[in-house]
Structures are given as structure tokens and as C-alpha cells.
Amino acid sequence: METQSYRYHDIFYTGTETQPDSLNFFVKMKKGENSFLAQHAMPLANWMGYMPIIGSFTGVARIINSVKTIFENFSQNKTSEKQTIYKNFFRGFVEVLPFTGVSLMLFDAIRIRRVEAKIKKEVQEQENIVGLAMDGNLMFTVGTIGLSQLEKLRTKPSWSNEDRLRTFTFLCLKFLEKKEKEGRSPQKMKDIFPKLQEIIQQIHTIKDLPTTIKEFSLPES
């Protein structure tokens, strides 16, 4: 299990539809659970909360944003945000306390393991797929044929599941970075990634490829 960071709609209030606590990438080549392989990305805000001193400032910002959201929801009679508000308020309080980063890292590691188990169970009967989930909620899967063309860019004799997963993760995060740079109002993740699903399904039709995967440019969306 590998975890990295992602950036989109950076704000110290996470677990939302625009900035989930985790994006979950996975590959599964055979039926059953043994061939399942995943890695995850968390928002930069969560990573900063682990750091001594810096975490104290992020914690204060998270508490302020939680209180602000409480008043916004109260005025609009919304109750659906309650769990997210309480979670951010509590996390902010923990971040403010000195030297609690290790505790937060452990909490996040346990949460991600639970998320991974949920996804693994949901796709256990599928094969030859890569997929993306948000906080454990499946957004899409796509056949690995969508990545087959990119195998030509490999730098070693054969592609492993780890290579497929790294490539798929790279494409997802590159697509998200592209959306962030567009400078539009933040979109919900579920509205962003369906377009990427379409793009990946068409990658195998691309004839002119660069020499390395990092030079590969996503088609216009």
C-alpha cells in the first residue's frame, strides 16, 4: 500500500466531494481478491497536519472552517454535512496539539486499510481492470486495454501490475492537476473523472506516442 498527496481545491476542510480524504487507485487482473493492488492519495492539507508547528496552524484553520460550515448549514437547514463537520473539527483540535502527527498518521493508515478492504470486496468478481474510488466509494473502472498502448513506453521487458497501477495513478493525478490549473470553480470529483474514463478507453487508438510516460499528454477534455 502506497500513499502520496494530491492537490485540488486546497482548503483545510477535507472529506468533501471536492476534496475527499483519499483518492483510491487500484488494478485487478484476475477474479478473487489476491490480484488486487492499490495505492492512495490524500490531500495536501492532511499531510501538512502531520507536521509539528505547521500542524498547529492547519488545525486552527480547519476548526475555523468547521465552525463557518456549521453556521452555513444552520442557516440553510442542512444536516447532511454534520459528520464531515464533526470530523474536521475533531481533526483540527488534534492537529493543534503538539506532537500528535504520529497519531493522525496511524488513524489515516487504519482508515485507508478499511477503505481498501471495502473496494477489494466490491470488485472481487471483476478482472483486467483499473479503477478509481473516492473515500472508498467506487467512481469508475475501465478495462486495462485502455492502458495497453502505453505499455509500448515501458523501459523494461514486461509490465507488472505495479507498473499498470503507477501509470493509471499518474494519469489520474495529471488529469486532476490539469483541472486545477484551469482555474474554474471547484467541481465535485464525481463530475470530473467520468471524462478521464472516456479518455483512457480511447488511449489504445493513439498512434503517435512520446518516448516516456511522463511526456504523455492527455487529450483535450
DSSP 118-160: HHHHHTTT--SEEEEEETTEEEEEEETHHHHGGGGG-SSSS--
In this prediction, residue 206 carries a pLDDT of 65
With respect to residue 166, please indicate whether it lies within any of the assigned structural domains. Answer: yes
In this prediction, residue 181 carries a pLDDT of 86
b/e string for 117-126 if b means 16 or more Cβ within 10 A? Answer: eebbeebeee
With respect to residue 175, please indicate whether it lies within any of the assigned structural domains. Answer: yes
First to last CA, the chain: 30
In this prediction, residue 105 carries a pLDDT of 95
Length of the chain: 221
**Strand, helix or coil at 17?**
coil
DSSP secondary structure letters along 23-79: EEEEEE-SSSSTTEEEEEEEEHHHHHTTSTTHHHHHHHHHHHHHHHHHHHHHHTT--
Total domains present in the chain = 1
**Strand, helix or coil at 140?**
strand
Beta strand 2-6 with 137-143 is unpaired
168: Cβ–Cβ under 8 A, 6 or more apart, which residues?
A: 25, 27, 130, 147, 200
In this prediction, residue 212 carries a pLDDT of 58
**Number of helices followed by number of strands (H, E) in the chain:** 7, 5
Cα 13 to chain centroid, rounded: 15
- The answer to whether 129 and 30 have CB atoms below 8 angstroms apart is no
With respect to residue 42, please indicate whether it lies within any of the assigned structural domains. Answer: yes
Cα gap 149→207, rounded to integer Å = 9
In this prediction, residue 207 carries a pLDDT of 64
Cα gap 33→43, rounded to integer Å = 27
With respect to residue 82, please indicate whether it lies within any of the assigned structural domains. Answer: yes
With respect to residue 50, please indicate whether it lies within any of the assigned structural domains. Answer: yes
With respect to residue 68, please indicate whether it lies within any of the assigned structural domains. Answer: yes
In this prediction, residue 91 carries a pLDDT of 97
In this prediction, residue 157 carries a pLDDT of 57
With respect to residue 220, please indicate whether it lies within any of the assigned structural domains. Answer: no
Cα gap 215→58, rounded to integer Å = 35
Domain that holds residue 129: 2-215
Cα gap 9→16, rounded to integer Å = 10
DSSP 203: G
In this prediction, residue 84 carries a pLDDT of 92
With respect to residue 221, please indicate whether it lies within any of the assigned structural domains. Answer: no
Cα gap 159→69, rounded to integer Å = 46
pLDDT in tens, the chain (221 residues): 678 999 998 899 999 999 999 999 999 998 876 889 999 999 999 999 999 999 999 999 999 999 999 888 776 656 667 889 999 999 999 999 988 999 999 999 999 999 999 999 999 999 999 999 999 999 999 988 767 767 666 555 567 888 889 889 988 998 998 888 887 788 999 999 988 888 887 776 666 655 555 666 666 65
